Structure 1
């Protein structure tokens, strides 16, 4: 990490995981932006007084590891690619510094709202346990043949607005892998604003607007899938991949 970025991060007022529960926003509107890592320090410097930063065991840049599941026909990926309004993702996510692991289901409805449902698990399961299968079936109201489809890892900075009900996640050092296939996205930063409804008065939205950076719909899962699998239909995401590669070149 660049020293200047670390310096800015350490200046932001901390917030604990327990304190952050008030802004959990399990049902929310997500708005994403993409920037080059070189622009992150200045952005954080400009908004640092409006936010607190999540700190766990004295760590402010946290490590996340995820394992996504899909059907053999890659239903979840294809639903997203084919613009299906009601769609879902199933993943296991480990929050490394806090040593917590969850089985999570993210469901998007026709109004653009995202609902996240999760249960605690001991660790990653490449073979889904009966408890996990039951949770997935009850949550999704259907029985699916699921298998591990892609691993994902990244570092995350989480900010909580001091006055507005919003959280901000900043993901960097993104990588994907399955078996011997690996793809890294160096220099790419994905910013995700989580609110009850999109509010343009958010400090980060205002700062990005000054740089002519607009909201950009992007799925880390889908970008990872087309980076690892060469047999997927991806015409809907082709321009997104071109934009990302151009941004981080």
Structure 2
């Protein structure tokens, strides 16, 4: 008999309901931070939540603990920022508008990658502009920030490329400046094509000032290792069928249609029950 997979979205809603709440005003912003990303099954997410216990709180705004996000990403017509990420350029950026559909408004966000793997996020309110449009103020913000922070000249033309929709639960470390975002139900689309993520998987991002958050240690204890993943880059690779060697294992095991046995083969379970998924040319460890 084939065991039915847990729905990650339902599991996260249950986790969020059991964790003590924290208001938005008490959540550290962490605009400059180190991010570590993981992909885990709903079953492993349940084990992680049990390990964390009451050491973490959940973001609560109004009566909600799980929130819908939509983001529109901008790039040059020849996808400069995608190729910079694919080539792992040391100085690179991503530009998007993000709308918090359940409260929080809209923002224009510029994410910068710099030395030592750190990520700096700069943003301005964007409630009065369409999500797929860059205003003159937005372009000035991008130009000034890229020049002052990365010594980069902004591209002459930036256009909307695609959008991502998903739900998020945010867990906050009560003992320090760290948090864990838990994303489910990812849908990538560009107006012509769409690529949904598997419903049994959770995309985690551990965010902390030094990259040594407690949750990273707990995940290592469960046999889960970080993965190289970017929602935007995965979406471009999936929707436009472009080369994405460094993300291919994640692409094959995370986005639908679900991979065939030849492209994502189950391996040996480790001592913590981790299911090794073998992609092309590298390994992807998914907690299972």
How many Å apart are 1:99 and its aligned residue?
4.4
Partner of 1:132: 138
Query: d(CA) in 2 for partners of 1:183 and 1:240?
Result: 13
Residue 50 and residue 132 in structure 1: after superposition, are their counterparts in 2 closer, same or farther (change >3 A)?
Answer: same
Partner of 1:29: 34
Instruction: Give me the TM-score of the superposition, normalised by structure 1.
Output: 0.91
Write out aligned runs for 1:82-161 (5 A): 82-122=87-127, 123-141=129-147, 142-144=153-155, 145-161=157-173
Partner of 1:45: 50
Query: d(CA) in 1 for partners of 2:197 and 2:10?
Result: 21
Partner of 1:242: 252
How many Å apart are 1:9 and its aligned residue?
1.8
Partner of 2:21: 14
Instruction: State whether structure 2 residue 81 is matched by structure 1 residue 76.
Output: yes
Point out where structure 1 has 5 or more consecutive residues left out of the alignment. Answer: none
Instruction: State whether structure 2 residue 195 is matched by structure 1 residue 183.
Output: yes
How many Å apart are 1:47 and its aligned residue?
1.1
Residue 135 and residue 5 in structure 1: after superposition, are their counterparts in 2 closer, same or farther (change >3 A)?
Answer: closer
Point out where structure 2 has 5 or more consecutive residues left out of the alignment. Answer: 1-6, 148-152, 265-276, 278-285
Partner of 1:205: 216
How many Å apart are 1:237 and its aligned residue?
2.3
Contact 1:69 1:90 in 2 (8 A): yes
SS in 2 for 1:63: strand
How many Å apart are 1:16 and its aligned residue?
0.8
Query: d(CA) in 2 for partners of 1:82 and 1:4?
Result: 36
Higher RCO (Cα < 8 Å, 6 or more apart):
1
Contact 2:71 2:97 in 1 (8 A): yes
How many Å apart are 1:46 and its aligned residue?
2.3
Q: Which has the larger radius of gyration?
A: 2
How many Å apart are 1:33 and its aligned residue?
1.0
Instruction: Give me the TM-score of the superposition, normalised by structure 2.
Output: 0.79
Contact 1:67 1:124 in 2 (8 A): no
Structure 1 residues 206-215 or 8-17, which shifts more? 206-215
Contact 1:27 1:115 in 2 (8 A): yes
How many Å apart are 1:130 and its aligned residue?
1.0
How many Å apart are 1:198 and its aligned residue?
1.6
How many Å apart are 1:5 and its aligned residue?
4.6
- More helix by proportion, 1 or 2? 1
Runs of 4+, deviation exceeding 6 Å: none
Contact 1:158 1:169 in 2 (8 A): yes
Residue 4 and residue 129 in structure 1: after superposition, are their counterparts in 2 closer, same or farther (change >3 A)?
Answer: closer
Write out aligned runs for 1:60-71 (5 A): 60-71=65-76
